Structure 1
Amino acid sequence: MSPAPTPPPASTDAGLAPLTRGVGHYENFPVASWLCPPALRPAVVALYHFARTADDLADEGNWSVAERLAHLAAYRQALQTCLDGTPLPPDTEAAWQRVFGALARAQKQHRFPPHLLHDLLSAFEQDVRYTAAGHAYTGMDELLAYCHWSAQPVGRLLLHLYGIDAPEALAQSDDICSALQLINFWQDISVDHPRGRHYLPADQLERHGLTLADFGAEASSERAVRQAALVAELCADARQRILRGAPLVHRIPGRAGWELRLVVQGGLRILDHLAAIGHRSWQHRVTLVKADLPRLLWRAWRMG
């Protein structure tokens, strides 16, 4: 195995973060917060740093497309070496040694399904390729196929930690994680569009008489109404998905169940913020703020 390319340093952020992908390390992983059971916290942190470092390889720095894909391929090889129980070569970059050392310890204890970890890397590789090609997603089915790699493995890995594998629970987890991924897409249009990352589905754009180019141009009043209607429609779909998965919170015991309640309510609160700006997220990016916390806690408590 050749030496690993030097990656950006893995993030050391920790806290209760929304389960959404975004720019500036607005995390797509519920980091080991004070609500996470202490016995599981090292495994959650290991999973987080694995995903965070791969995301940086796909998204940060000034590498070419070919270089990013080569780095991700080397990272995938390192993952397989880790899963095989073999130490990484001593000349592997130190940051990767730390990432895969922690992941190896977690894997030895918890036996994560390997395909879920590989699926996350497939999502990052697809992002690199699609962004380079200016790919536009044809419809919701194609977006959900991406979520199958990018978001659903996160929930299933966490359920694996809690020993939950009932089919209904897995389906609810998939709904929550896919919804949170979609919410992040609609939240981040103003950030993603200038970077060539296009997630607005082509079939719904066409139905509203819009194109991707409309979201990069100064909108007329009439076009802005159609743009807002499209984003509102997409947000309504995401809300339906997350509410369909929300009963999962009652299957997860103790503090972890409360963390999931807050993650679900965080996604719903983002949708509230999007509605408050008239769904004009191609102009403004909304985020959760500290003032949202009391409302999130109240809503989490009311989930029962």
Structure 2
Amino acid sequence: MPETDTNTTTDRAFFLRELERYGPACPQPSKSSENSAGISPQVPSRELSQTEASLYCRMWAKRQYENFVVASCLLPRRYRQDFYNIYAFCRWSDNLADELDTPQESLRRLAAWQQQFLLCYGGAPTHPVLRSLQTTIQQHSLPPQPFLDLLNAFQQDQTTCRYETAAELLLYCQRSANPVGQLLLQVADVHSEEALQLSNLVCTGLQLANFCQDMARDALKNRIYAPRSLWKPHGVTEEMLLAGEPTDQLREMLAAWVAEAQSYFESGWGIVHQVPAWLATDLELFVRGGVAILHKIRSQDYDVWSHRPTLSKMHQLQLLTAATLGRVRRRRTPPPTLVSRRKR
């Protein structure tokens, strides 16, 4: 059976306290005091100042474990808050999808969250994450669609728990992951089609790597992202995936999925040559983090059920050092595991 993750329990308890404090509240039956969507906006007991809202987003970016650094120390200071704001929006949206008691409650809260998000365009949101995000949206003229695509993917998680084919899953990734890269390119004022395609490859690779890493966690929520077309060649059944026992069939299937995720990083590595140097280092860190977690899965003999693979702070520091050297030398080389697998 999957191991118990005490950090996950702690993070959930913290989020639920913050949700009670700041909302979004669930939609209520229509009353005259409510807005046209029938949603009772949650008004904090004390509205945070703009500075406090910015610090709130930074806190979320700093406290959450990720396979990559959200905004490294090498990122110019004038852009760090933008990264924090976008990440905090993604984290709150993800938590609304994953940390509530029922899919029905998640859908209601996500609907309320979407209504509050739209206030970022010409309105006055009160939630600290959205208040700070509004500044980024205005400064960089970010369109609403990437954010709405992300929300749509989180809503889909409440109703779709199985995928038949890899093509179906990739359609999901186009909304669950790729919009983040699109937003970062917009912040960097990068608009080339080639950069967009490479960014999409990296973002999809990160999403697939996360699916591989979290197979046990997702199964506890009755979610199986591995498409059925991947199960069948390896003799894997739905019962095996939900049981959480590391069988030979599951390991073989996961090995194939890890290789597929790796191919997206190989194809998307060129993104580091398509963006300004200040952004290239952080994008390189994203790729290095994704490749490193795939390597960690291999080192565990493709057993993500007995122990969830993660990267230690020391490992992340090593990745930062490697990316920094590439910046200093003005020559960005792929991670060794990416190069070695390319030569096969």
Q: Per the shorter chain, which TM-score range?
A: 0.7 to 0.9
Alignment match, 2:232:
206
The separation in 2 between residues aligned to 1:295 and 1:28, in whole angstroms, is 13
Q: How much has 1:232 moved relative to structure 2?
A: 0.5
Residues 77 and 272 (structure 1 numbering): CA distance in 2 closer, same or farther, change over 3 Å? Answer: same
Alignment match, 1:197:
223
Instruction: Please tell me the residue identity of whatever aligns with 2:255.
Output: A
Q: How much has 1:145 moved relative to structure 2?
A: 0.8
Alignment match, 2:152:
122
The separation in 2 between residues aligned to 1:298 and 1:80, in whole angstroms, is 39
The separation in 2 between residues aligned to 1:218 and 1:117, in whole angstroms, is 33
Do residues 87 (structure 1) and 124 (structure 2) align? yes
Alignment match, 1:13:
60
The separation in 1 between residues aligned to 2:217 and 2:92, in whole angstroms, is 21
Q: How much has 1:240 moved relative to structure 2?
A: 0.6
Q: CA RMSD in A?
A: 2.4
The separation in 2 between residues aligned to 1:291 and 1:103, in whole angstroms, is 31
Counterparts of 1:110-189 in structure 2, within 5 Å, are 110-130=140-160, 135-189=161-215
Correspondent of 1:228 among 231, 242, 251 = 251
SS at match of 2:158: helix
Q: What TM-score, normalized to structure 2?
A: 0.74
Count of matched residue positions in the alignment of Structure 1 and Structure 2: 279
Correspondent of 2:311 among 281, 288, 291 = 288
Alignment match, 2:99:
60
The separation in 2 between residues aligned to 1:155 and 1:28, in whole angstroms, is 16
The separation in 2 between residues aligned to 1:29 and 1:61, in whole angstroms, is 25
SS at match of 2:157: helix
SS at match of 1:163: coil
> After alignment, is 51-60 or 153-162 more displaced?
51-60
Maintained 8 Å contact 2:236/2:253: no
Do residues 274 (structure 1) and 297 (structure 2) align? yes
Gap runs ≥5 in structure 2: 1-34, 45-55, 327-331, 334-344
Q: How much has 1:224 moved relative to structure 2?
A: 2.2
Q: What TM-score, normalized to structure 1?
A: 0.84
Do residues 237 (structure 1) and 274 (structure 2) align? no
> After alignment, is 158-167 or 52-61 more displaced?
52-61
The separation in 1 between residues aligned to 2:236 and 2:276, in whole angstroms, is 46
Residues 269 and 199 (structure 1 numbering): CA distance in 2 closer, same or farther, change over 3 Å? Answer: same
Alignment match, 2:271:
248
Q: How much has 1:250 moved relative to structure 2?
A: 1.6
Alignment match, 1:21:
none
The separation in 2 between residues aligned to 1:280 and 1:73, in whole angstroms, is 37
Q: How much has 1:233 moved relative to structure 2?
A: 0.5
Do residues 75 (structure 1) and 113 (structure 2) align? yes
Maintained 8 Å contact 2:222/2:242: no
